[in-house]
Amino acid sequence: MSSPEPVPGASGRGAAAGSRRSAPLGEPAPLSPAKEPANPVPLCLYVHFPWCRRKCPYCDFNSHPAGPVLEEDRYVDALLGDLDFELSRLRVDREVRSVFMGGGTPSLFSPGALARILEGIRARLTLANDAEITLEANPGTTEYADFAACLDAGINRLSIGAQSFDDAALATLGRIHTAGETVRAFRKARGAGFRNINLDLMYGLPAQACEGAMDDLDQAIALGPEHISLYQLTLEPNTVFHRYPPPLPPEDEIARMQETLLGRLRLAGYTQYEVSSHAREGRQCRHNLNYWNFGDYIGIGAGAHGKFTDTAGRVQRRARKRHPAGYLALAGTEQAVAEIREVGGHDLLFEFFMNALRLKDGFALSTAAERTGYSGESIVHVLAPLITRELAFRTGDRIACTDRGYLFLDDALAMVLPDREAVAARPRPDRQLPGPAIGMARP
């Protein structure tokens, strides 16, 4: 997911003026141990699938080329064992509002396997009656997909990785599919009854001009998805493109693309609600909204991340082993856990800002106080440099970035974070991996 702006922040263009030292913080309001929070933090579930047909050269996600045999049953058992382990360690007393099956390429798995995962989840957790259940599906893996069976299993939202509708660009990106396959996958899903579909699209592709990016977006809009996620291609460390950079469009062309694409999305009735996310009325991704509102999520699967707030208000981040082989061997045991980290104090507040300021509407001070333990007053104090420079504004109980602050979000965040590297290094839960700040493509 990325920005209209998507992007300036990520590429470092247009740095906003101002100090990058931390602003002084007020003391957090005392949290009463063992006291039930007045409003329990909303809870979601992320399930990671670590395999793809092959690795795309721009991808820094936890994805690995699938061998000739997909260990489907073994992986489903591992996921459910992992969930059992997690539930034995966390006191989960809340219903789960959404499930997101992401990757990797979850659509490599059969509907039967996906159904078994969802049955296992329902047997172990209480899903909300109206829970949003998303499956990421990559064209090229959906030829034989039984979308009706996916609906029967309870999946009610699809996120299709279109990326471009230009076959030459798709080949450069190392994608396994053609534009025709994306269109067929979309129509097949619609025909089966899916009424909530996202298309992922990228821009700023090698040698792409603004007209090419517009053509991609027009073809996406013509399909009529409920949601479009628009990301700028960026060169991430540990990728083939980072080692052998392709010729990317110049920055002024990227800026022209962003402006033009955003205008086109608005005209077509898609409202931007997050840096990279555009939705028709009422079709925002509830799962990702929970990340950006600093809700809780349990993460299962190779490399999955979780965030959990206990009844005393303590926040813990948890991560699984990344490599599928190690994960398969150890899932369901303590050894599959790669990291457990308590997040508190200033770190917690900064992580809140990094998520909540991505939202066009920003956040309510009352929510920030609930999720971080800091008083509304101290939060306003920390963000004062942004408000003074008109990078953020306050209306009543809410604080959000101004258009300029949103355009240069990384720089705005850097003004209240210790340093710019810290912005880039913080976990990006919407990507389910630690990674760069803004403007990266999803699978």
Site residues (vs ligand SF4, CB under 6 A)? 52, 55-56, 59, 61, 63, 103-105, 138, 161, 443
Closest approach of ligand SF4 to the CB of residue 113, in Å: 18
Q: How big is the CA angle at 292 (ends 291 and 296), to the nearest 5 degrees?
A: 30
Question: Closer CB to ligand SF4, residue 439 or residue 443?
Answer: 443
CA–CA distance from 281 to each of 36, 197, 269, 272 (Å)? 34, 13, 8, 10
Closest approach of ligand SF4 to the CB of residue 53, in Å: 8
Closest approach of ligand SF4 to the CB of residue 60, in Å: 8
Question: Closer CB to ligand SF4, residue 55 or residue 184?
Answer: 55
Question: Closer CB to ligand SF4, residue 104 or residue 299?
Answer: 104
Q: 164 and 173 in contact (C-beta within 8 Å)?
A: yes
Q: DSSP labels for 315-376? A: EEEEEE-SSHHHHHHHTTSGGGEEEEEEE-HHHHHHHHHHHHTTBTT-EEHHHHHHHH---H
Virtual torsion, Cα 434, 437, 439, 443, nearest 10 deg: 10
Question: Closer CB to ligand SF4, residue 41 or residue 233?
Answer: 233
Structure tokens at 132: 């949003």
Question: Closer CB to ligand SF4, residue 50 or residue 295?
Answer: 50
CA–CA distance from 408 to each of 161, 210, 356, 358, 436 (Å)? 27, 21, 15, 11, 15
Residues 6+ apart with CB under 8 A from 129: none
Q: Quote the CA–CA distance of 115 and 319 in Å, as a whole number.
A: 25
Q: What's 81's DSSP letter?
A: H
Closest approach of ligand SF4 to the CB of residue 245, in Å: 17
- Closest to 291 measured CA to CA, from 371, 398, 345: 371
Closest approach of ligand SF4 to the CB of residue 103, in Å: 6
Rg (CA), the chain: 21
Closest approach of ligand SF4 to the CB of residue 66, in Å: 10
Closest approach of ligand SF4 to the CB of residue 308, in Å: 25
Q: Quote the CA–CA distance of 45 and 62 in Å, as a whole number.
A: 18
Question: Closer CB to ligand SF4, residue 43 or residue 248?
Answer: 248
Question: Closer CB to ligand SF4, residue 61 or residue 327?
Answer: 61
Q: DSSP labels for 105-116? A: -GGGS-HHHHHH
Residue with smallest beta-carbon separation from ligand SF4:
443
Question: Closer CB to ligand SF4, residue 231 or residue 352?
Answer: 231
Closest approach of ligand SF4 to the CB of residue 205, in Å: 13
Q: 139 and 160 in contact (C-beta within 8 Å)?
A: yes
